[in-house]
Amino acid sequence: MALLSNTSPVYVALRCVLLYSSLCLEASATSGVSTVSVSGLLPPHDTLYYLGVRAYFAEDWEKAAELIEKSIATRESILRTRRKCHDNCGAAGNDRLEKLDTEKGSVWDLWAIDWAQRRAECIRFCLGRAISPAGQLPISEDMHYEFDTRNPYNYLQVTYYKLGKVQKAVSAAQTFFVANPSHLEMRNNIEKYKRMSGVTSEAFQDRERDGHKQWYLYDAALLAESSAEWARAAEVWKKCVNETLRQTEECRAQCEVEGQGIPNEETSKTTGVFEKAAALSLNLLSCKQSCVAVVATRPGRLSPVEDFLPMVLEHLHIAQFKAGDLKGAVQTLRSLLLFYPSDSDSLSNLQLYFETLGGDTEAQPTQEMSTYVNRSLLEKKLLYFGVENLDFNFTDPDLWTPEEVVPESLREGWRVEREKLNAKLKEGEREVELDDSGFYAGGSVPLKGVTITMDDNILNGTNRVVLDGVLSQPECDTVLQLASTAASLGDGYRGRRSPHTPHEKLEGLTVLRALTLAQDGFVNQTDARLLHEIGERVRTLLQSYFRSPSTLYFSFTHLVCRSAITGKQEGRLDLSHPVHVDNCLLEPETRQCWREAPAFTHRDLSALLYLNDDFEGGDMFFTDRDAKTLTATVKPQCGRLVGFSSGPVNPHGVTAVTAGRRCALALWFTKEKLHRDMEREEAEAAWAKDGLSVTKEEDEEDKSTPTPPRSGRSQTSKERSKSRGRVVGGRDEL
**Pairing status of strand 504-509 against strand 553-564:** antiparallel
**Residue 460 dihedral angles phi and psi, to the nearest 5°:** 55, 45
Long-range contacts of 308-314 (CB under 8 A, 24+ apart): 308/244, 309/241, 309/244, 309/245, 309/339, 309/372, 310/336, 310/339, 310/340, 310/400, 312/218, 312/237, 312/240, 312/241, 312/244, 313/241, 313/339, 313/369
Give CA–CA dist 111/105, Å, rounded. Answer: 10
Secondary structure of residue 665 in the 3-state scheme: strand
Secondary structure of residue 608 in the 3-state scheme: strand
Query: Between the CA of residue 71 and those of 55, 68, 126, 156, what are the distances in Å?
Result: 13, 5, 21, 12
Name the catalytic one among 662, 676, 680, 713: 662
Q: How many CB atoms lie within 10 A of CB 430?
A: 10
Q: Per residue, what are the HEC states of 14-64?
A: HHHHHHHHHHHHHHHHHHCCCCCCCCCCECCHHHHHHHHHHHHHCCCHHHH
Give CA–CA dist 116/128, Å, rounded. Answer: 18
Give CA–CA dist 732/560, Å, rounded. Answer: 10
Secondary structure of residue 519 in the 3-state scheme: helix
**Which conformational region is residue 476 in: left (phi greater than 0), alpha (psi within -120 to 50 degrees), or beta?**
alpha
**Which conformational region is residue 651 in: left (phi greater than 0), alpha (psi within -120 to 50 degrees), or beta?**
beta
Give CA–CA dist 298/518, Å, rounded. Answer: 50
**Pairing status of strand 464-468 against strand 488-489:** unpaired
- What DSSP state is assigned to residue 311? H
**Residue 616 dihedral angles phi and psi, to the nearest 5°:** -110, 140
Give Rg (Cα) of the chain: 29
Helices (H) and strands (E) in the chain, counts: 24, 15
DSSP-H helix ranges across 460-546: 473-486, 511-519, 525-545
- What DSSP state is assigned to residue 365? P
**Amino acid making up residue 525:** Q
Contact 444, 451 (CB under 8 A): no
Secondary structure of residue 342 in the 3-state scheme: coil
Contact 366, 330 (CB under 8 A): no
Secondary structure of residue 486 in the 3-state scheme: helix
Give CA–CA dist 217/224, Å, rounded. Answer: 10
**Amino acid making up residue 444:** S
What element of type H or E holds 649?
none
Any idea what the Cα angle at residue 640 is, between residues 634 and 642, rounded to 5°?
A: 55
The residues pairing with 30 across neighbouring beta strands, listed in sequence order, are none
| Straight-line distance from the first to the last Cα atom of the chain, in angstroms, rounded to the nearest whole number | 51
Contact 225, 315 (CB under 8 A): yes
Any idea what the Cα angle at residue 467 is, between residues 465 and 471, rounded to 5°?
A: 145
662 is catalytic: yes
Give CA–CA dist 212/244, Å, rounded. Answer: 9
Give CA–CA dist 274/280, Å, rounded. Answer: 10
> Which residues are identified as catalytic?
662
